[in-house]
Amino acid sequence: MEDDKQPKPNYLWSLFTMRCPRCRRGDMFKSNNAYKKLSLHNILDMHDECPICHQKFDLEPGFWYGTGYVSYGLVLIFSAITFALWCLIVGISMNDNRVFWWLLFNGVVVIILQPWFMRFSRVVYLNFFVKYNKNYDKEKGKTFDY
């Protein structure tokens, strides 16, 4: 057993800090702040490959189209959670407009969090295809290039 190997990074930590799924150490995005400059180029500006293990992030042409479904699912889960919390804290009634206030609140929060959802959906989507490899420094990364 080698003592110089680093411990395996936590899966959830690597997801929420948006790290490479193969080594769980390298940053996927060039800027850690999606809100630094609100342009689509800045929000989705990724490294071509992981700076640590050299795993390619764009596995094939059109690879990132599937992130739309992941982002949609994440927003649905987020909306369900905010609705449940709204019901517990404020309540829902048919006699007033509380459900419309939740729709407005949820819509504003989803729009504000959209850059983060876009980035996070890319991280989750790439994790479907690239798994953690403890020998990332010795083996070649996964790619679908033909």
Task: Write down the pLDDT at residue 97.
Answer: 85
Confidence of residue 3 (pLDDT cuts 50, 70, 90): very low
Tokens 């991280």 belong to: 123
pLDDT tens-place string over residues 63-119: 899 999 999 999 999 999 999 999 999 888 778 888 889 999 999 999 999 999 999
Position with higher pLDDT, 55 vs 94: 55
Say how far apart CA 108 and CA 104 lie, in whole Å.
6
Going by pLDDT thresholds of 50, 70 and 90, the confidence category of residue 143 is: low
The two tokens of residue 66 are 């599937």
CB half-sphere exposure, 108, CA atoms < 13 A: 5
Burial class (CB in 10 A: 0-12, 13-18, 19+), 9: middle
Judge whether residue 145 has pLDDT over 60: no
- pTM value is 0.82
pLDDT above 90 coverage of the chain, percent: 47
Q: Does the pLDDT value for residue 45 go beyond 90?
A: no
Please report, for the chain, the start and end positions of each structural domain, with discontinuous segments joined by +: 11-129
SS percent in the chain: helix, strand, coil, step 5:
45, 5, 50
Tokens of 31: 């800027």
d(CA 110, CA 113) in angstroms, rounded, equals: 5
